[in-house]
Structure 1
Amino acid sequence: MANGSTYKTCSCKDALTGKRLGKSCPKLRRTAGGGAERWNSNHGKWAYQLELPPHADGRRRNPLRRSGFTGMEEAEAELKHARALLELDEDPHVLRKITELMLSTLKDTRALPPLEEVRRKVRTRQDLNPTVTVGEWMIEFLRRKRKIDATTRRSYEAHIRLYFTPYLGDIRLDRLRISDIAGMFDAIEEFNDVITSARASGDAEQRAKVKYRRTVGPATMHRIRATLRHALNVAIKQDRLIDFNPAAVVELPDAERPKALVWTDERVADWNRELNRRLEAERRRRDGRVNAIGVYISTPRPSPVMVWTPAHTSAFLTQAQQHRLHALYRLIALRGLRRGEAVGLRWKDVDLEAGTAGVHWQITQLSWQPIQGRPKTEASDRTIALDAESVTILRAHRKRQAAEQLAAGQAWADSGFVFTDELGRPLHPQHASDQFYLLAYEAGLPPVRLHDLRHGAASLMLAAGVDLKIVQETLGHVSSTFTRDTYTSVFPQVARAAAESTAALITTGAQSAGTARLVSLPPRTDATAN
């Protein structure tokens, strides 16, 4: 019976013993003309039986019996499928794995596993009987990622906790499908609507339910998918748990970077009208009490990324001249340092005689916790040139810091950082941002993020005619293409000057057009006219 066989059976019982008659029921056949017996199409169902490989200890395994087929062809087709699965490999160990997969899949789905899928797994030596779920694998994946920085780890943890575990966690890893992942992103978008509706409602209870939840934008969705794709690639390459990565083909909306816009006079006027409207509404709602800085920061801007004009930047630095972090803001505004790089600048990496500063350290923020470490990429670890005025300002800053050290006495912490608090301790990155917003507000300037000064620095350098390659190296980018596409904006006055220069070429050409003919043309005729 190694090749198996099909037969017909029914559920009739013997009248005396009460036992099922099965395939011995006389009603399964009927006598046709000439005395020949034929299967009775109105009684019983078709079934098949197939011998299975023995257990590892040699014990005989019960045959595979399947019934309930309406026709012989249907039973024979599944029997052929089962035989083909058992013929995929001759190795007894692999045959036992195939058999266990067949039995477990039949139990769960009442169908045999797809032949081609099992063939691929056998060929690539994958585990044929994985029981790990997506949730279990994501925990194992995170446990293995020992060499990632704290910020990346926190991002992975958030994606697992907020999305993968709730939406995909109970699905077996080898049964994760594209539709499952697409459904997760559909659910995220639906919850975005819940958050937006709750915040717009007047129901305090509804707003409280989403107080600590933020809507998930396209860029974040791409990062969520990237985390899942990476985790599934590890499952493919290292453990051979799966042979296909469904996260790699899930389609998402384009995650375009927001376009940086310059604060033109028109944009400032429009934004200022909205600011005043919100301030007035806040005064009415809170009986005259208003958090002006809070309204200033939260009033919507034309783009998430806004860039000050050179005049705006100059006004800000003038306002910051007496502030103890004046030198920090100047380095960001003119040299394009990231916030963490500026806060993490160390005196041992600054050479005021040579006019250089080495960006070899940074202090980033993980939730509220400041994290010290080296720049994330090789390109970010760099040395930048300092202009003469910046050197003068840094010398003055060092003198001020020396006076603070003298005043602090034994309480002074000799951290070695250029920018510290009054006791010499490393500066918290958020403190730099908070003071920046305060200075910008006091200067009467339209709001930008501290990081937007970096965008402005790139635009200032290009407007001054600095080569794009030098701008790229100053900002610490791997490629000049990224610098050009992401961190540059055209100031209106630069664009106007370029337009005037281009028009001047035409004007000059027009003045000399009558004095010389470059090409001798034949006289115009009616034929050429038509």
Structure 2
Amino acid sequence: MAEGSVFKRCTCRDTSGKRLANRCPQLRRASGSWSPTHGWWAYQLELPPRADGARRQLRRGGFVRREDAAGERDKAIALLNLAGDDTSLAVEIADLLQQVKYGRPLPERDTIAKRVRAGVPATSDMTLGDYLTQWLLSRRAIEPGTIRCYGSHIRVHLIPHLGDIKLSRLRVEHIAPMFTAIADRNTGVEVARQSPDPAVQASVKAARTTSPATMQRIRATLRKALNDAIRTSNNRLIDFNPAAHVELPSAPRPKARVWTDKAVQRWRDTGEQPSPVMVWTPPQAGAFLDYAEAHDIVLYPLFVGILHRGMRRGEALGLRDSTVDLDTAVATVDLQRTTDGYKPVDKKVKSEAGNRTFALDSFTVTAWRSYLARRASWQLVSGPQWPNHGFFFVRPDGQKWHPDAVTKRFDKLVRDSHLPPIRLHDLRHCAATFLKAAGADLKDVQALLGHSTITVTGDIYTSVIAELEVERDKAEAAAALVPRRQLPAA
């Protein structure tokens, strides 16, 4: 590549009024060296031909010092060198140099180099929307459910609010207003729902608000995408992650609450429940199992296992004959049967904490022995058509359960039994609560449930234990230490 030249020019004109430019005799001394007082410095650089083959040059002037002109010429050469042997990229960078307006600085080499390494056109600055779209398509080694979650956040929130902003210019002051707008929309939806005007209520009938927990997940998606733009050695598009510095209200986990008599009465009167996460009392749980045994003997043993041993739905459906040993009363969870959209999938449990072995109580062992005997009769009826896939809980035809079908059966049993409502996942909360009430500490509960940290266990279950009054004796003893002149009336 040509090194270009550095020279002086001026605004002097000849007798006809034509500018002399670099032909002015005052530009040089008698010795032939450049005059230090007349004219200004400029440079000229031969550029790669245009796409149509036409020759072109880069000429820029107005520099006070020769070093300034030479420095910008060298900067232009460094940009052109990014193309290496790639002719089309060299033409592209030359186009970029010619697009720079007179008096404006040339693009930084590092900025153009990042675009070149990322495969982004050198003449354009990638928007956040373009980057997020490419980033999502490049995700390969993550779960389909995570991909779907990322896609929803990008499609519904990030691109509509931030998609047109240049990736390299994204800042905290761009991201924070997005969450303000989401919160304002939530307020608008709630106000419309409380409106006395039926038409206003109908306008938000299908609207869904965005919870603080979801806003945290939206920020996490953006933070992950921008971290990847920083850390990937061949795709370092930015040097700063503004999503990591956006402050959002905390999204505490909902506390599990107990269906006390008072809470049940309020639910029957108003339809309200104290918390999204509700727990039955032991008598209510027993009433459900009695009802399930009488009305759905097929899934009754599965519900027994979840209620007594705290398994997740997918973990219970992922048990196999090889991971259940009723002779030693031990079961191992290492697989889960879950869904991708509506499609059922079998996959390993998420974490090492979730991969666990636990003891089975005698009630669960008895129910599961009866179930195996019943399953053997189903297999006998099916004959050669029985599928031998090795899963423990199966339908009467031997096929694996669809997780959503199990949830629907559970919900119907709860409705028909007229018990206060809980989710199938709340049977797991019941198991933890009853275990703690029976004298286990939080570490035991953590191990049974497969929580990654004891903090998660404590955050969810501390209040529910108090509601069940399992520590009443301690509370009474503490209150008795306070002397009173007159005992309170019973």
| Contact in 2 for aligned 1:105/1:112 (Cα 8 Å) | no
Corresponding residue for residue 289 of structure 2: 317
User: Identity of aligned pairs, percent?
Assistant: 41
Gaps of 5+ in 2: 22-39, 50-54, 83-92, 484-490
Q: Which residue, out of 448, 456, 466, partners 1:482?
A: 456
RMSD of aligned alpha carbons? 4.1
CA distance in 2 between counterparts of 1:148 and 1:472 reads: 26
CA distance in 1 between counterparts of 2:341 and 2:335 reads: 19
Corresponding residue for residue 210 of structure 2: 216
CA distance in 1 between counterparts of 2:366 and 2:143 reads: 36
Amino acid of the residue matched to residue 494 of structure 1? V
Amino acid of the residue matched to residue 133 of structure 2? I
CA distance in 2 between counterparts of 1:506 and 1:368 reads: 59
Q: Which residue, out of 404, 411, 425, partners 1:451?
A: 425
Is 1:494–2:470 an aligned residue pair?
A: yes
**CA separation of 1:6 and 1:265: change in aligned 2, threshold 3 A:** farther
**Counterparts of 1:24-103 in structure 2 under 5 Å?**
51=43, 55=47, 61-64=57-60, 86=72, 92-94=77-79
Q: CA deviation at 1:350?
A: 0.3
Q: CA deviation at 1:194?
A: 5.4
**CA separation of 1:174 and 1:395: change in aligned 2, threshold 3 A:** same
Q: Which residue, out of 155, 164, 188, partners 1:161?
A: 155
CA distance in 1 between counterparts of 2:168 and 2:57 reads: 26
**CA separation of 1:65 and 1:334: change in aligned 2, threshold 3 A:** farther
| Contact in 2 for aligned 1:135/1:165 (Cα 8 Å) | yes
Corresponding residue for residue 266 of structure 2: 270
CA distance in 2 between counterparts of 1:315 and 1:255 reads: 34
Q: Which residue, out of 280, 304, 309, partners 1:308?
A: 280
| Contact in 1 for aligned 2:114/2:237 (Cα 8 Å) | no
Q: CA deviation at 1:346?
A: 1.5
Is 1:152–2:150 an aligned residue pair?
A: no
CA distance in 1 between counterparts of 2:392 and 2:125 reads: 54
Q: Which residue, out of 400, 416, 434, partners 1:460?
A: 434
Q: CA deviation at 1:358?
A: 1.1
Q: Secondary structure at the match of 2:58?
A: coil
**CA separation of 1:140 and 1:246: change in aligned 2, threshold 3 A:** same
| Contact in 2 for aligned 1:341/1:363 (Cα 8 Å) | yes
Per-residue Cα deviation, 1:382-407 (whole angstroms, up to 9, x for no partner): 11110011101000111122222333
CA distance in 2 between counterparts of 1:380 and 1:22 reads: 82
Q: Secondary structure at the match of 2:345?
A: strand
| Contact in 2 for aligned 1:126/1:241 (Cα 8 Å) | no
Relative to the length of structure 1, the TM-score reads 0.70
**CA separation of 1:242 and 1:472: change in aligned 2, threshold 3 A:** same
**CA separation of 1:162 and 1:266: change in aligned 2, threshold 3 A:** same
**Counterparts of 1:351-390 in structure 2 under 5 Å?**
351-390=325-364
Q: Which residue, out of 365, 374, 377, partners 1:400?
A: 374
Q: Secondary structure at the match of 1:422?
A: coil
CA distance in 2 between counterparts of 1:147 and 1:444 reads: 45
Corresponding residue for residue 516 of structure 1: none
| Contact in 2 for aligned 1:134/1:169 (Cα 8 Å) | yes
Per-residue Cα deviation, 1:228-249 (whole angstroms, up to 9, x for no partner): 1111111111111111111111
**CA separation of 1:330 and 1:93: change in aligned 2, threshold 3 A:** same
Corresponding residue for residue 236 of structure 1: 230
Amino acid of the residue matched to residue 310 of structure 1? P
Q: Secondary structure at the match of 1:51?
A: strand
Stretch deviating more after TM superposition (356-365 or 401-410): 401-410
**CA separation of 1:419 and 1:105: change in aligned 2, threshold 3 A:** farther
Per-residue Cα deviation, 1:485-504 (whole angstroms, up to 9, x for no partner): 23442133213232124446
Q: Which residue, out of 133, 139, 157, partners 1:139?
A: 133
CA distance in 2 between counterparts of 1:113 and 1:306 reads: 63
**CA separation of 1:3 and 1:242: change in aligned 2, threshold 3 A:** farther
Relative to the length of structure 2, the TM-score reads 0.75
Per-residue Cα deviation, 1:54-87 (whole angstroms, up to 9, x for no partner): 5468x87433468xxxxxxxx98xx99x879849
| Contact in 1 for aligned 2:335/2:348 (Cα 8 Å) | yes
| Contact in 2 for aligned 1:53/1:96 (Cα 8 Å) | no
**Counterparts of 1:202-213 in structure 2 under 5 Å?**
202-203=198-199, 207=203, 211=206, 213=207
